[in-house]
Amino acid sequence: MKITKAAIERAEKLIQPYIHKTPVLTNQSINELTGIDFYFKCENFQKIGAFKIRGGMHATLNLTPTQLKSGIATHSSGNHAQALAFAGKTLGIKAYIVMPSSSPQVKVNAVRGYGAEVIICEPNQQAREAALNKVVAETGASFIHPYDNDDVIIGQATCVKEFIEEVPDLEVVITPVGGGGLLSGTCMGAYYYKPDLKVYAGEPEGAADAVLSIQTGKVEKAPFINTIADGLLTTLSERTLAIIKEHVTTIFLVSDEEIKSALKLIYERMKIIVEPSCVVPFAAAIKNKELFKGKKVGIILSGGNVDLTKFAEWFPPST
Amino acid sequence: MKITKAAIERAEKLIQPYIHKTPVLTNQSINELTGIDFYFKCENFQKIGAFKIRGGMHATLNLTPTQLKSGIATHSSGNHAQALAFAGKTLGIKAYIVMPSSSPQVKVNAVRGYGAEVIICEPNQQAREAALNKVVAETGASFIHPYDNDDVIIGQATCVKEFIEEVPDLEVVITPVGGGGLLSGTCMGAYYYKPDLKVYAGEPEGAADAVLSIQTGKVEKAPFINTIADGLLTTLSERTLAIIKEHVTTIFLVSDEEIKSALKLIYERMKIIVEPSCVVPFAAAIKNKELFKGKKVGIILSGGNVDLTKFAEWFPPST
């Protein structure tokens, strides 16, 4: 399906019975501290704990009854896996999820908890694709890519649409960028519903493929991978790069130390649980606060599925 | 001021400009898991991150202009300290806070952040009282006790009043019990606004003074102190014991393991940050789930001020 205004509106109606309209929160002490007027769209409170249910559910609902009968499949170490597992459970169809052996146990458990069939593979791209092709060949399930899929991008676009409706005078929106599904959807939603809304993105220094891809103009791998933002390790696709190149003002890089400081601020001041990947845009805004001073800046807090044992690493006890 | 219905209504109006009307959240997966219809009154989202601002602000606003000029004082290792510090800052008066040297750094910093004067003392009751008496003698500040004070109890009662207004068919409400301020306020609020609402409390096994006090009929110390619920270490007072004896159905004891499981459930499913002390009633409900099955059970999530480095202790990385 083409990414049009009508498609986004149709998607919103289709997925509405299955998702939450997430709240937009503000925090006085964070605003005082930064001089920025922040609005947080809390997709950490979304069904399955992340925005991914929007795209996953929309792509699933667009399958034909015959396709639905054979189920859905994907490879994902993260929230897209949970999204399809949840879609499968909700719609009463099979979901096959290929997950790398490096996936956080909390995410594997959550996927199994929704009744999906988990296929564990080696943690590399070839193994993931091989395992996925095998399950698709054996079952006839429809492969729903985490982001290289227009229906998925249309689903993610519903998030910024809600955000604009709730905060009509928003001036800036910043999202994280991994594969670029949320960012592309945000670009297209902003384009159709508030063309003067500036779209930025935040990316970890330790997974800087999107910044590099914008520089060279083609899909690049990150020069190196080393970050706690484990939801943002994937590269862009041709599809997402094309949208991002056209619509995104700047992609900011942030360090893991900046991500941890931003996490601490959200935990301590807002009392909500978010993933490291999800505070990358907030960290980027703080790092570039002169640019955003006094502006109404929207942050899409993309998810809240964390492994609690990771806190020991992020916030070690003082010795 | 006597604890009457009129006093609670007056308190609500007085403090309304300074506090948040906190949201009541529900969580489908927790309800499915437990078979209980839970409602969570989120005082972790309250100003200063805890319900204590209700009582602290109310007691301060009841002082005369002359009293206000000399400031307010208390001894507290925790959220009451922040409440008075915030009240002092908001009303433009001095706040003197005696804090034991064992106080979490995050709480000392927060109190200083509100501009209060912190007096650090040895971590025992005599040292706290001596330091407090000294500061009161020197400054003429009004001592506002964390819970042995009717104005404080009246302020805390506004919480259950809001809760009942939002969930009129609530059948049960459970609060934590430390010194008994919130529990006493909840008893009196329930008594005036929904007399058939059953009030329970949760207490840590490692600070079981309230259960013992109910058994013997007089204010007792805990047999031993050993719990992660560090907001619940204080003993009752004659005043709070009298109210609790008359109105509370049962005080349940829970272990630290049960507290940690309850914390994990709230963090993972609800994506909100709460203190260990604050999940004690939730842990108690889960432990006694046969009693509450199918019932509409209200939990007052009393606060969200945690030291993030504590997660390493509560959720150690698997080895």
Instruction: Kindly report, residue by residue over A82-95, the tens digit of the pLDDT.
Output: 999 999 999 999 99
Interhelix angle B238-247/B209-216, nearest 10 degrees: 80
In B269-304, which positions are buried (b, 16+ CB within 10 angstroms) versus exposed (e)?
A: bbbbbbbbbbbbbbbbbbbbeebbeebbbbbbbbbb
C-beta atoms of A308 and B317 within 8 A = no
- Domain borders along chain B are 5-50+149-314, 53-143
Residue A276: DSSP 8-state = G
Residue A95: closest CA among B269, A156, A80, A154:
A80
C-beta atoms of B315 and A309 within 8 A = yes
- Catalytic: A52? yes
Interface size between A and B, measured as CB pairs under 8 A: 58
C-beta atoms of B312 and A316 within 8 A = yes
- Catalytic: A69? no
Q: What is the mean pLDDT of chain A?
A: 96
- The residues of A whose Cβ lies within 8 A of any Cβ of B are 44-45, 49, 106, 264, 267-268, 271-274, 304, 308-318
Q: For an interface test with A, which of B79, B268, B307 has the most A Cβ atoms less than 10 Å from its Cβ?
A: B268
C-beta atoms of A271 and B308 within 8 A = no
- DSSP string covering A50-119: BTHHHHHHHHHHTS-HHHHHT-EEEE-SSHHHHHHHHHHHHHT--EEEEEETTS-HHHHHHHHHTTPEEE
Tokens of A163: 């955000």
Instruction: Kindly report, residue by residue over A225-268, the tens digit of the pLDDT.
Output: 999 999 999 999 999 999 999 999 999 999 999 999 999 999 99
Chain B hits for A44, CB-CB cut-off 8 Å, are 271
Note whether B5-50+149-314 and B53-143 share their fold: yes
Q: Are B103 and B78 in contact (CB under 8 A)?
A: yes
Chain A hits for B274, CB-CB cut-off 8 Å, are 271
Instruction: Kindly report, residue by residue over B161-212, the tens digit of the pLDDT.
Output: 999 999 999 999 999 999 999 999 999 999 999 999 999 999 999 999 999 9
Fold of the CATH domain A5-50+149-314: Rossmann fold (3.40.50)
Q: ∠ at Cα B91 (B87, B93), nearest 5°? A: 90
**Phi and psi torsions of A233, nearest 5°:** -85, -15
Task: Check whether A197 has a pLDDT greater than 70.
Answer: yes
Q: Are B98 and B119 in contact (CB under 8 A)?
A: yes
Residue of A nearest to B315 (CA): A309
ipTM of the complex: 0.92
Q: Which of B47, B76, B77, B237 is catalytic?
A: B77
Interhelix angle A181-193/A52-61, nearest 10 degrees: 80
Task: Check whether B81 has a pLDDT greater than 90.
Answer: yes
Residue of B nearest to A315 (CA): B309
B53-143: CATH, from 3.40.50.2300, 3.20.20.140, 3.30.420.40, 3.40.50.1100: 3.40.50.1100
What's residue B319's pLDDT?
54
What's residue A172's pLDDT?
98
Long-range contacts formed by A217-223: CB under 8 A, 24+ apart? A217/A245
What's residue A319's pLDDT?
54
Q: Which of A52, A107, A194, A198 is catalytic?
A: A52
User: Taking the model in full, what pTM does it have?
Assistant: 0.94
